[in-house]
Structure 1
Amino acid sequence: MPKTLTDIRSLARSHTRSAILALAGVMRSKDASHAARVSAATALLDRGWGKPPQALQNGEDGALELIHRIERVIVHPDQQESDLKPEEVG
């Protein structure tokens, strides 16, 4: 049994060709469900081209608000939002 992360990665990578062929087989199979075919196609595209970038949302509790809150805590840990100047808030 592999004992290190490197051994596990190496073992998994040794099956790459078979795994890709299996995914391609499912994607092309007329007997596979549409969901299975789409899932296999997505897995192939993600591995070949990388996952598409995720858009940041601005708004009520959106990603940009979360980033702003993290920044505020890191840059101004002792200040409340009400204590900050308008240009420091956003």
Structure 2
Amino acid sequence: MSEEVAGEIAGEPLRPPLAAKTRAGARKPTEIRSLARSHTRTALRVLVGIMRNDEATPAVRLSAANAILDRGWGKAAQPIESGEEGVETVHRVERVIVRPEDAGHADQEAGNA
């Protein structure tokens, strides 16, 4: 780790780890999200340090730069190509529940048709 990154991390006060469970049981997702967000400044400093580190590989620096841009500006929209101009792709998900005793009737009806 570069001295610049280590110095930026060292500037953050160290906090003792929090207990894994609260009185009511396991942490709720909102608590975990809040805890993770409390480390945003440190995480961003680490990413910037990696991006600026001349000793890091280009792939690592690029990955850090992309992570910074994604967090700051959001991920770029990914267009979906349908193969035809102006045609909107419609997806339909259908859930069919078949009872085992009805499966025999469906096979017989298919054979009679």
Structure 1: gaps (5+ residues): 74-90
Measured against aligned partners, the alpha-carbon deviations of 1:19-78 in whole angstroms (never above 9, x if no partner) come to: 000000000000111111000000000000000010111229xxx77x33429x7xxxxx
Structure 2: gaps (5+ residues): 1-19, 22-26, 95-113
Counterpart for residue 48 of structure 1: 72
Q: TM-score, normalised by structure 2?
A: 0.53
Counterpart for residue 36 of structure 1: 60
How far apart, CA to CA, are the structure 2 residues paired with 1:51 and 1:68?
A: 24
Identity %: 50
What is the letter of the counterpart of residue 70 of structure 1? Answer: R
**Displacement after TM superposition at 1:12 (Å):** 0.4
> Is residue 82 of structure 2 the alignment partner of residue 70 of structure 1?
no
How far apart, CA to CA, are the structure 2 residues paired with 1:18 and 1:40?
A: 14
Q: TM-score, normalised by structure 1?
A: 0.66
How big is the alpha-carbon RMSD for the aligned residues of Structure 1 and Structure 2? 2.3
Q: How many residues align?
A: 68
Q: Find runs of 4+ consecutive structure 1 residues off by over 3 angstroms.
A: none
Greater Rg by CA: 2
Counterpart for residue 26 of structure 1: 50
> Is residue 17 of structure 2 the alignment partner of residue 17 of structure 1?
no
